[in-house]
Amino acid sequence: PTPPYLKWAESLHSLLDDQDGTHLFRTFLKQEDCADLLDFWFACSGFRKLEASGGNEEKKLKLAKAIYRKYILDNNSIVSRQIKAATKSFIRDCVVRVHIEPAMLDQAQTEIQAMLEENTYPVFLKSDLYLEYT
Amino acid sequence: IDSEDDLLQECISSAMPKKK
């Protein structure tokens, strides 16, 4: 069977679908001071999961606010710099108007994902960290 | 603030892949 680390090189999704792959990629991003990009990507997925599971509205609002404050509010943060102004104001509006919906972070997640796919992921595949692992 | 951080961590962990 194909070893997991070769699958990681197939696509960003195959990497992020594997626990060890995700861990190694996060270690790499941490070295580059941009682990927040990956944390944000997972936070968006977690938010959607929580939304889909129904239940506690207060918790969803609290989480949406937490994500907004930690990653988006500060325009100079690494995540915020990669997200379009229109996308940021859409999320801000959702939080301010307490209009929480499952897809409210989807566009921002897509923009961060595109950035990971075009930049950090290819660099990771050429990094010493990945090469040593393989 | 602490509980907000905990909530965020819990959310991130919930989306991360589990051991296969």
Report pLDDT digits (tens) over A67-82. 999 999 999 999 999 9
Question: Which residue among B4, B10, B15 sits closest to A45, beta carbon to beta carbon?
Answer: B15
Residue to substitute from B8, B19, B20, interface A, most A β-carbons within 10 A: B8
Give the tens place of pLDDT for each residue, A6-25: 999 999 999 999 999 999 99
Backbone angles phi, psi at A103, to 5 degrees: -95, 5
Regions of chain B where pLDDT drops below 70: 1-2, 20
Structure tokens that stand for A119 in this block = 């930049």
pLDDT confidence tier of residue A102, bands split at 50, 70 and 90: confident
Q: Which of A25, A80, A72 is nearest to B8 (CA)?
A: A72
Cβ atoms of residues B7 and A66 within 8 Å: yes
Shortest CA distance from A66: residue in chain B: B4
* Start-to-end CA span in chain B (Å): 34
Low-confidence winner among A17-21, A53-57, A77-81, A94-98 (lowest mean pLDDT)? A53-57
Assess B2–A contact: CB distance below 8 Å, yes or no: no
Q: Which pLDDT score is estimated for A7? A: 95
Q: Count CB atoms within 10 A of the CB of residue A83.
A: 22
Backbone angles phi, psi at A121, to 5 degrees: -60, -50
